[in-house]
């Protein structure tokens, strides 16, 4: 049975939409919002908003060190959120989850802590040509500092990774393979488990950029056998300003602290300190407490929907979207066929620049992204400077795809 033929049990899109207050607004007079930019950031259900509001109204206090009632309530709520997120991704222990500001900071934590402690001049790190800048620049910075060698798995014309070339690169005996499980431009879902297995067989560690995969696919870090996984709350119905780095306990314990200050210490003297145990060793200063609680509410919401059902819904949407976009003369959609991608459709029109496409669509309330999407090298690979990107999530409908197509025809007419 194909993905499209599988029943979407209890996945009531209209009921889901009713949980998102922003979807009820008009973005222009009489023009309702059609939000197709979830790859950049997702909208937030009332359950997440209410959880954060409840914390600020009733339990707001700093965590871990206070012993009064509010401090204990705040600490319990913060750590419960960590436990729920750990369960959501199948982590063996909540202590293996580090709260960070976002995916970008999580990757920087790995490069600046693990990388500085373990990589030496001439060591090789393998990346891919489809990486977001967040999984390029931190490695480039470290490579400049340590004289490392960066190698890249090529992207084929179809938008897939060239695994034959990857096999050849592994013969160079890399120390790290860092890659996106799902491309934010092409929507390509990479075979993460296979990439990790091959890396481990070659003696390399792995870092998975899960910013796009964890919100949209069932991701189990234990099943993947990943060493590090980074992702952000704001792309998965949660608040901005908070993310996660999952890391194997043995690796995290061996890594030096990333930032210094309160809560990451066990003892401080004038000329020395002892770092705290996991996960607090990497969580210096007062954290984003309300945001962590909102993050916990977001994974509860997704878990209640069921990530298999989320994936099926998005597959239904992207199959339909690609079919409709192919009907439009001149539209070029980048990336593989629907069965190899998530709910992302990046495209160009010969008549108009991506920014013009986005601006015209906005007059009809349709929010899409325009630009290089923090993936300049990938756009260079395809010989373009920018794409317009429509991205879909749990609250999008087939009717909104039809509205997008109508809007693109409007763009073509205006710029003909």
| Cα 237 to Cα 292: distance, rounded to the nearest angstrom | 12
Considering only CA atoms, which of 58, 60, 57 is closest in space to residue 289?
60
Handedness of CA 355, 140, 214, 169 (dihedral sign): positive
User: Average pLDDT of each block of 10 consecutive residues along the chain (416 residues)?
Assistant: 42 95 97 98 98 98 93 97 98 98 98 98 98 98 98 98 98 98 98 98 98 98 98 98 98 95 88 92 96 98 97 97 98 98 98 97 98 97 97 98 98 94
Q: What sign does the dihedral 302-303-304-305 (CA atoms) show?
A: positive
Phi, psi of 124, deg, nearest 5: -110, 135
pLDDT on residue 268: 83
Tell me the catalytic residues. Answer: 374
Q: How far apart are CA 117 and CA 146, in angstroms?
A: 11
Pairing assessment for the beta strands 387-391 and 369-371 based on DSSP bridges: antiparallel
Closest CA to 9 of 293, 308, 369, 248: 308
Determine which helix (DSSP H) or strand (DSSP E) holds 103, and give its type and residue range. helix 103-109
Residues 6+ apart with CB under 8 A from 26: 32, 33, 365
What is the reported pLDDT for 6? 43
| pLDDT of the residue at 148 | 98
The answer to whether the beta carbons of residues 135 and 126 sit under 8 Å apart is no
User: How far is Cα 345 from Cα 333, in angstroms, rounded to an integer?
Assistant: 6
Where would I find the H helices in 185-248?
192-201, 221-224
The Cα 235–Cα 309 span in angstroms is 17
Selection from 310, 240, 287, 303 nearest residue 44 by Cα? 240
**Whose CA is closest to 217, among 179, 182, 180, 177?**
182
Domains of the chain in start order, with CATH, are: 3-41+307-415 (3.90.1150.10), 49-304 (3.40.640.10)
């Amino acid at each position: 049975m194909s993905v499209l033929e599988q029943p979407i049990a209890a996945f009531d899109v209209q009921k889901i939409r009713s949980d998102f207050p922003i979807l009820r607004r008009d973005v222009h007079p009489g023009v309702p919002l059609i939000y197709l930019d979830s790859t950049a950031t997702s909208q937030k259900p009332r359950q997440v908003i209410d959880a954060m509001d409840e914390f600020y109204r009733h339990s707001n206090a700093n965590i871990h060190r206070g012993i009064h009632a509010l401090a204990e309530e705040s600490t319990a709520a913060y750590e419960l959120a960590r436990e729920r997120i750990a369960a959501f991704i199948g982590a063996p222990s909540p202590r293996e989850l580090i709260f960070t500001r976002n995916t970008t900071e999580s990757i920087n934590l790995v490069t600046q802590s693990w990388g500085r402690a373990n990589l030496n001049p001439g060591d090789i790190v393998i990346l891919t040509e489809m990486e977001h800048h967040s999984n390029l620049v931190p490695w480039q910075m470290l490579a400049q500092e340590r004289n490392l060698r960066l190698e890249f798995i090529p992207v084929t014309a179809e938008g897939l990774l060239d695994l034959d070339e990857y096999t050849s690169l592994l013969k160079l005996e890399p120390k790290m393979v860092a890659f996106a499980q799902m491309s934010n431009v092409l929507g390509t879902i990479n075979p993460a488990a296979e990439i990790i297995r091959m890396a481990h067989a070659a003696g390399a560690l792995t870092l998975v950029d899960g910013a796009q995969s964890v919100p949209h696919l069932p991701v189990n870090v234990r099943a993947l056998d990943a060493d590090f996984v980074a992702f952000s709350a704001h792309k998965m119905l949660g608040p901005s300003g908070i993310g996660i780095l999952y890391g194997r306990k043995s690796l995290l314990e061996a890594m030096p602290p990333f930032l210094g200050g309160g809560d990451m210490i066990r003892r401080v003297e004038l000329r020395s300190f002892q770092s705290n145990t996991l996960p607090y060793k990497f969580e210096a200063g007062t954290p984003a407490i309300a945001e962590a609680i909102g993050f916990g509410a977001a994974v509860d919401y997704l878990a209640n929907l069921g990530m298999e059902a989320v994936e099926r819904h998005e597959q239904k949407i992207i199959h339909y979207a690609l079919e409709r976009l192919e009907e439009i003369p001149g539209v070029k959609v980048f990336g593989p066929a629907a069965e190899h991608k998530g709910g992302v459709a990046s495209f160009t029109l010969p008549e108009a620049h991506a920014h013009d496409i986005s601006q015209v669509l906005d007059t009809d309330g349709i929010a899409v992204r325009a630009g290089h999407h923090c993936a300049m090298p990938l756009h260079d690979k395809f010989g373009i400077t920018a794409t317009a990107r429509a991205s879909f999530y749990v609250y999008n409908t087939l009717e909104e795809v039809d509205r997008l197509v109508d809007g693109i025809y409007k763009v073509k007419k205006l710029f003909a």
